[in-house]
Amino acid sequence: MTEPEFRFRLARRSTAVLLYVLTFAVTALVLLGFARGTHAMVTAVWEGIVG
Amino acid sequence: MTTPASRFESRGVFVVVALVAVLMAVYIAAGDEPMERVAFLVGGFVVVLAVALAGALLLLVWVFVRNVHAVLYHGENPRVPELGPDEPAGYRYHGGPAWWDFGEVAIRVGNQTGLFVVFLLPYLLAQALVLLCHMIVAWVGVVVLRLVDGGLLRFRRIRMLCPSCFQHMAYPSYECGGCGRVHRDVRPGRRGVFRRRCVCGQPMPTLLVLGSADLDALCPYCDQRLEHRPGESRELSLALFGGTGAGKTRLTHGFHGALEHAAGAHGGASVELAGAETQHSLSDSQDLLSPGRKVPPTQPGRQARGLVLRVTAERRTLVLQVYDTAGEWFNRSDRAEELTYLGKTTTFVLVLDPLSVPSVWSTLDPSERSRLSEERSHTPDPEQAYMQVRDEVQRQYRALGRGLGRTRLAVVVSRGDLLAGTSIAPDGAEPELWAREMMGLDNLLRAARDDFGTVEVFVTSAVSDPGRRPDPSLAELLRWLLEPEADVFTSMLTPEGAAAEGVQ
């Protein structure tokens, strides 16, 4: 396979780096949502059972 | 069908669940606040479930990132095809590989995660959106650049005509300076926005505004080399026609000589013969214009081809394409049909040898006839070539859906030098009046005025004086021909223009 030229590689790798950042951001948001949901559920369970 | 092993496994699970249930019951029963212990156990179960789900999601995300890294960062994508032998330049990322990468990542992730790929759909969607933004920016750039370049060509009224096959080209082909590979269409697109890279690694500008005129150009239709840097400057085509021996070739040399003389007298101006064919044909114009020198006639069998002169003055350039075709081509309609440049030219030059007209010849006295007999061409009827070409021009213009309203025709009576001193010399008479009365061109000129937009009559002498200065009639004719172009070219041809430069 011929070696892709510099600009092509640059565009491809820039896209990859942008995707890493986006993936990190989306995952962080999802995990934050998980944490908050879990906290809300635990609180609800405690208040529902213990009062 | 249950096997002993699976029965053993289900029993094991049952034992574990029962054990956990017993432990939980003991834990709840052993405390003082059983409800708090129940809440603690349920809450704990929720947290464990959430952590397990988060772990699973992280695992899926890791699969996605790993594939993005392999495909995009390391370029491991078998979907990006190798370049074929006829492909001159590779694709840029926006020209296909971006989507091929997206497809490869999606397929790899789908194969590795199975149905769980649904949890990665937001990530794949994010990748698609990133690529879409990339494509939008790149393709908007492509469209804007092409519009700017095309707009500039239109604004400057630049049309490119191949002097060899007479085809109008939207854009020339270009040869790579590194390997000689021909790039058919270098304009912005899949293979580059501002520049493309030849397979040999040589970068090439994609547009004339970006400097592609510096490359070696070829006609995209006939592959002939175009050495006049097409697209950089306006082009003016002059189609010369007339009977055999009327003086078309001599007039072509006269144009060259007059332009060179004017450029020499005008500081910073120059005339360059573009291409080997033009250099071969016009390099000896100065000698051929000397009095008494005969210009060899254009061979009838010779393929018609434009001679190209690049005239530069005050940083403006005009490419002059002169079509000097042998008179035999205008005698038959089937041959004239091959001269497709007639439909792409707006400026025509009908060259007439006054000595060939019987009425003129008979007016000369015997001594004049004897002196000029060798100079006389033998096309008795000047209207024949005119009608033949007029019909062909009309046919070609009609085929292109154009009218002849903007065309210009110069009717040039050649051999003014031979007429001088004879009993029929114009001697300052108005050329059109002289041509009507002496040459009997009434009908021809009336027809010409009906057929062409503008018609003017000139009497010229394509000879130079002993000081090698071309006859002023040539400059006058050229001024008229170049009138629609920039003023700098016509002023260069005026005696005042030369005088203003301080050169005699």
On whether any CB of chain B is under 8 Å from the CB of A4, the answer is: yes
Q: Identify all chain B residues contacting A13, using CB atoms and an 8 Å cutoff.
A: 72-73
* Alpha-carbon span B95 to B80, nearest angstrom: 11
- Specify the pTM: 0.77
pLDDT over 70 for what percent of chain B? 95
Backbone angles phi, psi at B307, to 5 degrees: -95, 135
Are B42 and A2 an interchain contact pair (Cβ–Cβ within 8 Å)? no
Q: Identify all chain B residues contacting A15, using CB atoms and an 8 Å cutoff.
A: 72, 93, 98, 101, 130-131, 134
The answer for residues whose C-beta is within 8 angstroms of residue B344's C-beta and 6 or more apart is B159, B161, B166, B168, B237, B396
Q: Identify all chain A residues contacting B50, using CB atoms and an 8 Å cutoff.
A: 34-35, 37-38, 41
The answer for residues whose C-beta is within 8 angstroms of residue B379's C-beta and 6 or more apart is B242, B243, B244, B245, B246, B327, B353, B356, B385
Split at pLDDT 50, 70, 90, the class of B504 is very low
Q: Identify all chain B residues contacting A8, using CB atoms and an 8 Å cutoff.
A: 90-93, 97
Nearest CA-CA distance, residue A28 and chain B, Å: 10
Cα-trace Rg, chain A: 22
The residue with tokens 């520049």 is: B195
Closest by CA to B391, choosing from B456, B304, B333, B328, is: B333
Are A8 and B201 an interchain contact pair (Cβ–Cβ within 8 Å)? no
| Average of per-residue pLDDT across B138-152 | 94
Q: Identify all chain B residues contacting A49, using CB atoms and an 8 Å cutoff.
A: 35-36, 38-39, 42
On whether any CB of chain B is under 8 Å from the CB of A36, the answer is: no
Tens digits of residue pLDDT in B199-250: 888 899 999 888 888 899 999 999 999 988 898 899 999 999 888 878 888 8
The answer for residues whose C-beta is within 8 angstroms of residue B208's C-beta and 6 or more apart is B149, B152, B153, B231, B232
Give pLDDT, residue B50. Answer: 92
Inform me whether the pLDDT recorded for B380 exceeds 70.
Answer: no
Instruction: Provide the number of CB pairs (under 8 Å) joining chain A to chain B.
Output: 102
Backbone angles phi, psi at B317, to 5 degrees: -125, 140
Are A27 and B57 an interchain contact pair (Cβ–Cβ within 8 Å)? yes
* Alpha-carbon span B345 to B117, nearest angstrom: 65
On whether any CB of chain B is under 8 Å from the CB of A33, the answer is: no
Q: Could you tell me the maximum CA-CA distance found in chain A, to the nearest angstrom?
A: 70
User: Bridge partners of B174?
Assistant: B183, B217
Give pLDDT, residue B13. Answer: 87
On whether any CB of chain A is under 8 Å from the CB of B98, the answer is: yes
Give pLDDT, residue A1. Answer: 45
Tokens of B103: 């497809």
Is the confidence metric ipTM above 0.95 for this complex? no
